[in-house]
Amino acid sequence: MKEKELVLESLVNGNGILNGHNHDEIGDDHMYTGVETPMKEGAFNISDLEKKERIADLFAQIMDVMGLDLADDSLQGTPMRVAKMYIDEIFSGLDPLNKPKVALFENKYQYNQMLVEKDITFYSNCEHHFVPIIGKAHVAYISSGKVIGLSKLNRIVQYFAKRPQVQERLTNQIALELQSILETEDVAVIIDAKHLCVSSRGIKDDTSATVTSFYGGKFNSPEKIQELYNYINN
């Protein structure tokens, strides 16, 4: 089986839908190698300090090639600022040591309806051009006997967002992580985001947005999907 077909087989749900879209509508430009973020072997064999030093050196070379004067007071600290930003902030989700620690609690309230955490603001970066993706995530689940602290839902979204991403993968990573933690298939994730690779370059369309979705378990029904959207749009 071809690689692309293997990817589709691993991601398509029972309705033949990938992230809420027909496969043909996504197009080849949005296909990727799998649910996991592509990482090379030995990605964590060097320390964060060494990574910052190497990134700073390489970014200084980029600035030099562009003709910028690195002796200028305003620019001389930029390479290290960028390096620290990459490792400590906007790409910190690449490091599994930064994965949120999650504690579950017994569902003592016997609440058996969907719980929705909506409008979780996140900032990510497109892995194709390394420019921002800015959006909101809506996360829902139905308890199988355990509940998770509300802030942990936000932290899980932020963890997977803080890495070079494509929106389809981000959607699936959040959903699959929650299914694993909560030990239930009954998880839904909807992401509505603006991609600066579309609005600030290329076609320069500042009005369009991208929506992706994941519906697992009981959420794979028109009634539950409509109920979820009613909560989100309330």
- What type of residue is 86? Y
Burial class (CB in 10 A: 0-12, 13-18, 19+), 3: exposed
Q: Is 30 a catalytic residue?
A: no
Residue 101's Cα: distance from chain center in Å? 18
Where residue 145 sits, what CATH number does that domain have?
Answer: 3.30.1130.10
Q: What is the pLDDT of residue 28?
A: 41
Q: Is residue 107 part of a domain?
A: yes
Q: Is residue 201 part of a domain?
A: yes
Q: 147 and 196 share a domain?
A: yes
Catalytic residue of the set 53, 117, 127, 185: 127
Catalytic residue of the set 50, 128, 183, 226: 128
Catalytic residue of the set 21, 53, 117, 197: 197
Catalytic residue of the set 138, 165, 177, 195: 195
Give the contacts of 181 (CB within 8 A, at least 6 positions apart). Answer: 102, 104, 148, 156
Q: Is residue 42 part of a domain?
A: no
Q: What is the pLDDT of residue 115?
A: 97
Catalytic residue of the set 167, 168, 173, 179: 167
- Tally the domains of the chain: 2
Query: In which domain, by residue range, is 75 found?
Result: 48-94
Angle at 114 between CA 135 and CA 192, to 5 degrees: 15
Catalytic residue of the set 117, 126, 185, 227: 126
Q: Is residue 39 part of a domain?
A: no
Q: Is 138 a catalytic residue?
A: no
Q: 159 and 220 share a domain?
A: yes
Q: Is residue 69 part of a domain?
A: yes
Q: Contact, 201 vs 181, CB < 8 A? A: no
Q: Is 127 a catalytic residue?
A: yes
Catalytic residue of the set 21, 23, 30, 129: 129
Q: 13 and 112 share a domain?
A: yes
Q: 83 and 182 share a domain?
A: no
Q: Contact, 175 vs 214, CB < 8 A? A: yes
Q: Is 126 a catalytic residue?
A: yes
Q: 110 and 223 share a domain?
A: yes
Element (H, E) at 120: strand 114-126
Strands 164-165 and 187-195: unpaired
213-223 b/e with 16+ CB inside 10 Å = b? bbbbbbbbeee
Q: 108 and 14 share a domain?
A: yes
Map tokens 């800015």 to a residue: 134
Q: Is 128 a catalytic residue?
A: yes
d(CA 145, CA 160): 25
Local confidence pLDDT in tens for the 234 residues of the chain? 333 333 333 333 433 334 433 333 333 444 445 899 999 999 999 999 999 999 999 999 999 999 999 999 999 999 999 999 999 999 999 999 999 999 999 999 999 999 999 999 999 999 999 999 999 999 999 999 999 999 999 999 999 999 999 999 999 999 999 999 999 999 999 999 999 999 999 999 999 999 999 999 999 999 999 999 999 998
Q: What is the pLDDT of residue 213?
A: 98
Nearest to 93 by CA among 127, 59, 56, 140: 127
Distances in Å between the alpha carbon of 46 and those of 30, 51, 151?
31, 7, 31
Q: 11 and 123 share a domain?
A: yes
Tens digit of pLDDT for each residue in 23-50? 333 334 444 458 999 999 999 999 999 9
Q: 87 and 106 share a domain?
A: no
Where residue 81 sits, what CATH number does that domain have?
Answer: 1.10.286.10
Last residue of a domain, one of 94, 113, 129: 94
Question: What are the structure tokens assigned to 206, written together?
Answer: 């500042």
Q: 73 and 20 share a domain?
A: no
Q: What is the pLDDT of residue 33?
A: 59
Element (H, E) at 182: helix 167-182
Q: What is the pLDDT of residue 173?
A: 98
